[in-house]
Chains A and B, each alone.
Chain A
Amino acid sequence: MRLTKDMFAGLMFLTFGIGAAVIAQNYSLGTLARMGSGYFPMMIGSLIAIMGLAILVRAILRPGSSEPVATIEFRPILFIAAAIVIFGLVIDDFGIIAALAALIVIARFAGREGGPIELAMMVVVLIAVVVGIFVYGLNIHLRLWPS
């Protein structure tokens, strides 16, 4: 069987919908006239699950209606995600200069172009611009250096 985009999309909606509806059982449901915190989420969850199921069934019955999923290149998404996660880890304790440098350097590996000198220039210029705009321009209190 050809795995199409719609099959995965249907599965995704089904999972989110069922998950949301099941979790909503832990919240008080109440009645339609006096809804608890779980009533509306359960409705929406069920609705999404039904639509997901419909998309999935359609995709299985008519595989030609949707394209196969394109190949996934892991390099960009892994490095960009890593760069942001590490930015979040560094910024609290080491200040924005270290965090920005880490962000830019790691993100560089998501692409394949550009030499080290260009990278160094980007780091310096971008840090200067950010500090200039946010710290001096907008007067937002951000720690620059490690404490």
Chain B
Amino acid sequence: MDFFSNLSLGFSVAFTLSNLAYCTLGVFVGTAIGVLPGVGPLVTIAVLLPLTFGLPPEAAMIMLAGIYYGAAYGGSTTAILVNLPGESSSAVTCIDGYQMARQGRAGPALAIAAIGSFVAGCAGVVLLALLAPPLTDLALAFGAPEFFSLIVLALIATGVLVHGSMLNGIAVAFLGVLFGLVGVDINTGADRYTFGVPGLAEGVPFVVVAMGLFAFAEIIRNLEHNERRDIYSSRITGLMPTRSDLSRAWRPILRGTAVGSFFGILPGAGQTIASFGSYAVEKKISKTPEQFGKGAIEGVAGPEAANNASAQCAFIPTLTLGIPGSGTMALMLGALMIQGITPGPQILTNHPQLFWGLIASMWIGNLMLVILNLPLVGLWVSMLKIPYRWLYPIILVFSCIGIFTVSHSAVDIWLMVVFGVLGYVFMKLGLEPAPFILGFLLGPMLEENFRRAMLLSRGDFGIFITHPTSAAFLLAALGLLALMIVPAIRKRKDQAALEGD
């Protein structure tokens, strides 16, 4: 069986001592940072990217993936204990999780969240392992028109599904495409938009954009708001959920896993929509909907499973097609490219040890989440007491040194300020930055495939419609746009995509 030989290759990579250590470190750091409000997973990954450049690709991806789902889980710990969502995707866990904590049932809430995440994580890993080879085969048959239409779909989906007006979201994504074009045009060798700045010929470095847009802008936002956080520490008595908790929770966990997997594979949807979607489903089919909001364990189990399932499944399009569905996935892909690996369907065939090692490490990472989190709850709660005035200098220092170690050029550090200011302007204008980084990463691919398609068809746009797969992608993009024009659906989306990830 291919499935098992692949997985055993994966586990042989993941179980090396050093990769286990990077996985643990990633999960630990990710959880710790996920707990801290005001430091999201995007910022964490952006700031820690340079640390992974010296590592082999497998270790780098394993560690970054650990940070990613660690952060997803860390956010729910604080949601339950102190009613503070560390990430936007755990905002929904606050509703019933915090109520459970107030009733003295913080332990079972945390345990159910961990179990739900673990089950969803396992399902996500299996889904990834099962879907990756066929999807890769499909994508290997793609030509330029198919890739062009797929990228258009990804950009539109991300733009449409983030918080705010869809026109704004799409415009941000295409602005990212524009910035991705800066540098030498590989086809003609001509400089574009470099304005004589040395170093811009190779384009704006990915880390510079990521750090400016996310780390810089987020620091300013937090300093402007300067809110004081009250920390309530509830005593945690008894972690184990009761038999009735488990019997009430297992079905929501499975349903949440299904909802989360679906939204995870879709480009642009992300964890926030998945967890809100699962909550809505649970409330709708519950026999006792009036209990929701008053500490219903189903309201914790479902969304937490959905959150984690979508976090895992977001890797499916990213790794098999080379098309990231969210800002975080764009960062993961950027990390791969810095490692010298071209994203796309050939990853699976050219770097099987990377691909399957990453998948196996995800399963190990999910297990570690359960093992690490429950005993360390006290540590996470005490981390909440760290004042922000200690945190932001740390983020700044790691960003600046990180960029300098990559390029050894002060110009890149100043460029980070430029993108930081751009990120700040976005924030002030209510624009989400995530589509920008996606557009930035996909921009050169979009142009390359557009050019090739036009060369093939001798300048006839019809090629995007006569190729059936390409037509299907474009139709899906159109469908998304049409859906969002329906006011009722748009309203629901805005409730769900509170912040987007």
Interface residues in chain A, defined as those with a beta carbon under 8 Å from any beta carbon in chain B: 5-6, 8-9, 12-13, 16, 20, 23-24, 27-28, 31-38, 40-41, 44-45, 47-48, 51-52, 54-55, 58, 65-67, 69-70, 72-73, 75-77, 80-81, 83-85, 87-89, 91-92, 96, 99-100, 103-104, 107-108, 110-114, 122, 126, 130, 133-134, 138-140, 142
Give the residue of B171, B396, B416 whose beta carbon is less than 8 angstroms from that of A13: B171
| A122/B401 contact (C-beta < 8 A), A41-B192, A77-B424 known | no
- B389:A113 contact, CB within 8 angstroms: yes
Chain B residues touching A, range: 35 or more
Q: Using Cβ atoms and an 8 Å threshold, which residues of chain A touch B170?
A: 51
Q: Is B471 an interface residue (CB 8 A)?
A: no
Q: Using Cβ atoms and an 8 Å threshold, which residues of chain A touch B425?
A: 12
Q: Is B244 an interface residue (CB 8 A)?
A: no
Q: Using Cβ atoms and an 8 Å threshold, which residues of chain A touch B223?
A: 75-76, 80, 110-111
Q: Is B337 an interface residue (CB 8 A)?
A: no
Give the residue of B168, B420, B428 whose beta carbon is less than 8 angstroms from that of A81: B420
A108 to B223, CA, bound (A): 11
A131 (CB) vs chain B CBs: closest residue = B401
Secondary structure dominating the interface of A:
helix
Q: Is B400 an interface residue (CB 8 A)?
A: yes
Q: Is B454 an interface residue (CB 8 A)?
A: yes
Q: A5-B429, A88-B400, A114-B389 are in contact. List 4 more A-B contacts (CB 8 A).
A: A27-B192, A45-B178, A84-B216, A110-B392
A52 to B392, CA, bound (A): 34
Q: Using Cβ atoms and an 8 Å threshold, which residues of chain A touch B420?
A: 80-81, 84
- B220:A89 contact, CB within 8 angstroms: no
B456 (CB) vs chain A CBs: closest residue = A33
A1 to B410, CA, bound (A): 43
Stretch at the interface among B180-188, B346-354, B477-485: B180-188
- B459:A31 contact, CB within 8 angstroms: yes
- B410:A44 contact, CB within 8 angstroms: no
B410 (CB) vs chain A CBs: closest residue = A88
Q: Is B219 an interface residue (CB 8 A)?
A: yes
Q: Is B198 an interface residue (CB 8 A)?
A: no
| A44/B177 contact (C-beta < 8 A), A28-B188, A84-B416 known | yes
- B413:A133 contact, CB within 8 angstroms: no
Q: Is B174 an interface residue (CB 8 A)?
A: yes
A142 to B51, CA, bound (A): 14
Q: Using Cβ atoms and an 8 Å threshold, which residues of chain A touch B220?
A: 76-77, 80, 110
- B397:A111 contact, CB within 8 angstroms: no
| A142/B405 contact (C-beta < 8 A), A9-B429, A40-B181, A80-B220 known | yes
Contact with A along B211-230 (1 / 0, CB 8 A): 00000100110011010000
- A20:B424 contact, CB within 8 angstroms: no
- A103:B400 contact, CB within 8 angstroms: yes
A-B contact pairs, 7 of them (CB 8 A): A8-B429, A35-B451, A55-B168, A87-B400, A96-B401, A103-B393, A111-B223
Q: How far is the CB of A71 from chain B (nearest CB, A)?
A: 9
A69 to B178, CA, bound (A): 25
Give the residue of B188, B421, B454, B458 whose beta carbon is less than 8 angstroms from that of A77: B421
A99 to B405, CA, bound (A): 14
- B430:A41 contact, CB within 8 angstroms: no
Q: Using Cβ atoms and an 8 Å threshold, which residues of chain B touch A139?
A: 54
Q: Using Cβ atoms and an 8 Å threshold, which residues of chain B touch A32?
A: 454, 459
A31 to B416, CA, bound (A): 36
A100 to B187, CA, bound (A): 41
Q: Using Cβ atoms and an 8 Å threshold, which residues of chain B touch A27?
A: 185, 190, 192
A72 to B428, CA, bound (A): 8
- A84:B417 contact, CB within 8 angstroms: yes
A80 to B167, CA, bound (A): 31
